[in-house]
A and B are shown apart, each in its own frame.
Chain A
Amino acid sequence: MRFILRRLGFYLIAFWVSITLNFLLPRFMPGDPVSRMFARTQDRMQPEQIEALRKLLGVDSRPIWEQYADYLHNMATGQMGVSISRFPTPVTEVIASQVGWTLLLGGTALVIAAVVGNLLGILAAWRRGGAIDSALPPFLIFIGSFPYFWLAMGALYLFGVTLGWFPIRHAFSDTIEPSFSWDFMSDVGMHLVLPALTIVLVSLGGWMLGMRNTMIATNAEDYITMAEAKGLRPGRIMFRYAARNAMLPSVTSFGMSLGFVVGGALLTEVVFAYPGVGYQLLNAVQGLDYPLMQGLFLTITAAVLLANFLVDILYVRLDPRVRAS
């Protein structure tokens, strides 16, 4: 319990530091939202309208510490304000309308990649020098080191355009209405395959190698030899003795990745025109949309910290040494 409380205190401080950074970093960037908007529309906006727009969008010109106090107050009360690039939609609404797709895509891809990657890693280490161990890692690393953009475009072109097996854009067909019907669900599933598959392909190698390497180290431990000497079944040794101990680093990185899922998969969204917060975040940064940026960074920070906290708790369960200290 002390352990958990101490971790909790640590997370509170980490949270404060990160929301302060969220506040400061965007303000160090040159320009302000209105001149960015002006630069982007180029000849389509009138210079006379800039002052009025500044007022309309509520671009702050107060001293920075006053803005900061206000910002902390708003964060504490959960008011994230109105998005500038999507004016007048509230930030919470902008995020809420997209985060579901992001979680679906990122979560599916992460779970598949982590489960499959770890299982392959366990098998590869267990049968060292076997078929899986010698063929798969180089192949997966080869795929993983492709530029993601290129791989995604390739997959899209081959399976989407040329073969026509999968749809080439969006999260569902624009001819059907969202509902809890089988038609809609299967349509969403179809649209999910290519984006998720490409993410899984590029991340699988990392999971597999990480697991394989720790697993090899664990396999050399005395207690494994001991278990073998006792004549336990290989499957039991592999999962209960070796994998359980080798899994700790994987759990940590799973927690980290889980948190970052909320940040969206920008390149996937761009290639497959998949809705999500990644492109929204890029837009917010380019347009200096402070409220939306703060809202998104806050969500990401909170998710990463929360996921880490959960991993910490899980560690207590998995690793008795943490409990003892």
Chain B
Amino acid sequence: MTQARFLRSARIAAAGLAMGALVLTGCSANAGNTGSAKADASAQSALLTIPREDMGTFVRNFNPFAPTVTPMTQQAIYESLLVYNPANGNTTPWLASEWKAAQDGKSITFTLRDGVKWSDGQPLVPADVVTTFALQKKIKGGYEYLDTVTAEGTNQVKFSFKTAWSPALFDLGQLSILPDHVWSKIADPEKDPNEKPVGTGPYTEVDTFQAQSFVLKKNPNYWQPEKQKIAGIKMLAFAGNDGANLAAANGDVDWAPQYMPNIEKTFISKDPDHRKYWFPPTGSMINWQLNTTKAPFNDTDVRKALSMAVDREQVTKIGMSGYTKPADCTGLSGNYEKWKNKQVQDNCEWTRLNVDEANKLLDKAGYPKGADGKRTLKDGKPFEFKISVGAASSDWLSVANVIAQNLAEVGVTAKVDSPDWAAVVAGYETGDFDSGIVWSANDPSPYKYFAGMMGTATVKPVGKKAFENYHRFGDPKADALLTEFAAAADEGKQHDIADRLQEEYSAAAPAIPLFAGPEWGAYNNTRFTGWPTEENPYATLSVRAPTTVLVLTSLEPAK
């Protein structure tokens, strides 16, 4: 009997081994299959393949109100009234053919484009816009300035504001418009997965949807059929940059919008004729923000002196691998290129490296250097503080390290503190931090940026949660200019006020601007051509921006 049991277990073990062997041999026998899989891939080459690096798997959820919506929902399926392109500062009328702001700045009327149809064949009507904004306000909030949205006639929508509000144009114009005839029937719009989306975009038809990839095919009723030159879009899911970068290096994807370290070597060098990258500095301005509720950071001279001690060339070269350019004292990133005040820009003192001047300024402001070469604060304590950055951002971490080294030269000790991002941001929000590397608002209009940098309205007391203006700097002079800006309906006048805001920014130095965040983007034009480039910046290479639809309607299969 024991003998029989041994035999049985031996048989089970043998079966296990055989299974293992089967798997192994199965693989080598199947090795030929990879070739045919590749042939399949080339048969489907008409699909524009794009990786998504931060979703290990996709969930079928095309609801644009969901905080983590399936990629391409707001780029290929739904469209907005207008598209602003930060790369060249142009605004393209999209679902709206034109718009007009009222003289008093208290309303804007959009005229909807003729002949636009939803993917189910119904025409685009003003009620769609009205419903979209009603849902948006109800589910997601915001738009506090908006009083009413009313349909006018058969093709116009009028937005009325509580007070004059000039930044509204892009705020309203860039929201994805949803069909009223579909969404008014959805019982629970915030929780509906919207599995079969009906949109006006170029690629709306969900073809195959799997956890690791999905395909969007052409909208049969698109309003610019001549621009649907690609057969469809295929998204691939990746749990992290490494997998996505490998797919890009291997030539499996056409568009690579994720960050790639050492891109020249890992990506371009494999096929320099077809592979290109372009990182326009149109991201948000990345600042070194000092907590201005604390001494000595409440002292403008200190902020300027510390800024002059920072070697921004080194910061961008070492920290950001040379992918971006140093900031100037307008505080504006490449996104606001056409708003920049040339006069302020040409006379930047405190954003240029000048160790002597920094030392002089700190001496003068009353922070003397001791015998050991280290400065002390006014209360006699050592001039020491922390720079907080999330541990996950290795690039910003090295930015902080460069700054810490630079500061040692003026006798100031900065320690880089790098816990988890969540802990860092929790500190920013409650105002319990010394300094940190922080992003800023990035809108078509500079209003929100300046409001978040130096408007008193955005300053929250320490201990109360703030979601912008972490450095808690408010300036009554800026407030007056911001109010004036909001009321200015005329763009020329807005530019005048923006010029004065930059003068005020440069004088007050609310934060220390470091560099403009680059918009990552690379492509492989083996299968598709017509990509935006530095010479033809009709869009950026981002796949999550409003401009993505411009790229999708410009690409065509390579001949």
Contact = CB atoms under 8 A, between A and B. Distances in A.
Contacts of A279: 56-57, 239-240
Nearest to A276: B56
Interface string A10-45: 000000000000000000011100011111101110
Contacts, number: 198
Interface stretch (A65-73, A170-178, A250-258): A170-178
Interface stretch (B97-105, B298-306, B417-425): B417-425
Interface in A99-115: 108, 111-112, 115
Contacts of B187: none
A88 B61 contact: yes
Interface residues of A, number: 77
A88 B190 contact: yes
Nearest to A197: B24
B73 to A, nearest CB: 14
B27 interface: yes
Nearest to A153: B242
14 contacts: A31-B422, A40-B421, A52-B141, A53-B141, A161-B250, A169-B238, A174-B213, A186-B33, A190-B33, A269-B239, A270-B243, A272-B243, A273-B212, A273-B239
A29 B236 CA distance: 32
A108 B246 CA distance: 26
Contacts of A108: 23
A273 B238 contact: yes
B191 interface: yes
Interface string A286-312: 101000000000000000000000000
Contact of B57 (A97, A165, A288): A97
B262 interface: no
A175 B467 contact: no
Interface string B224-251: 0000000000101111101100110010
B487 interface: no
Nearest to A111: B16
A239 B23 contact: no
Interface in B258-303: 283-284
A57 interface: yes
A151 interface: no
Given A52-B140, A275-B211, A279-B239, A175 B67 contact: no
A164 B87 CA distance: 39
- Pick the 9 closest A-B CB pairs, nearest first: A52-B141, A279-B56, A47-B467, A279-B239, A273-B243, A39-B425, A174-B213, A88-B191, A30-B426
Contacts of B63: 88
Nearest to A50: B467
Given A47-B467, A56-B139, 7 more contacts: A43-B440, A52-B139, A53-B141, A168-B252, A169-B236, A174-B213, A236-B3
A74 to B, nearest CB: 18
B66 interface: yes
Contact of A192 (B23, B37, B141, B283): B23
Contacts of A46: 142
A53 B67 CA distance: 8
A281 to B, nearest CB: 10
B439 A42 contact: yes
Contacts of A38: 425, 467
Contacts of B467: 35, 38, 47, 50
A108 B34 CA distance: 22
Nearest to B190: A56
B239 A240 contact: no
Interface of A: 29-31, 35-40, 42-44, 46-53, 56-57, 82, 84-89, 94, 97-98, 108, 111-112, 115-116, 119, 153, 156, 161, 164-171, 173-175, 177-178, 186-187, 189-190, 192-193, 196, 236, 239-240, 269-276, 279-280, 283, 286, 288
Nearest to A178: B210
A63 B440 CA distance: 34
B208 interface: yes
Contacts of B40: 173, 175
Contacts of B239: 269-270, 273-274, 279
A167 B37 CA distance: 9
Given A43-B284, A167-B34, A275 B141 contact: no
Interface string B54-85: 00110101010111100000000000000000
B242 A270 contact: yes
Contacts of B141: 48-49, 51-53
A90 B463 CA distance: 34
Interface in B175-209: 190-193, 208
Nearest to A85: B68
Interface stretch (B6-14, B117-125, B505-513): B6-14
B557 to A, nearest CB: 19
A31 B423 contact: yes
B441 interface: yes
B331 to A, nearest CB: 14
B346 interface: no
Contacts of B17: 115-116, 119
Contacts of A85: 68
A35 B16 contact: no
Contact of A86 (B10, B34, B59, B210): B59
A98 B9 CA distance: 33
Interface in B311-344: none
A174 B47 CA distance: 12
B67 A87 contact: yes
B426 A168 contact: no
A270 B246 CA distance: 12
B142 A164 contact: no
A171 B243 CA distance: 13
Contact of A169 (B27, B140, B247): B247
A271 B243 CA distance: 6
A167 B306 CA distance: 52
Contact of A97 (B34, B211, B390): B211
B26 interface: yes
A112 B20 contact: yes
Nearest to B44: A175
Name, among A39, A108, A239, A271, the residue most crowded by chain B CB atoms within 10 Å (CB to CB): A39
Nearest to B283: A43
B301 to A, nearest CB: 29
B467 to A, nearest CB: 4
A115 B11 CA distance: 13
A108 B23 CA distance: 10
B6 A89 contact: no
Contacts of A49: 140-142
Given A35-B425, A116-B17, A239 B250 contact: no
B210 A174 contact: yes
Contact of A239 (B10, B27, B33, B238): B10
A175 B2 CA distance: 51
Contacts of B238: 169, 273
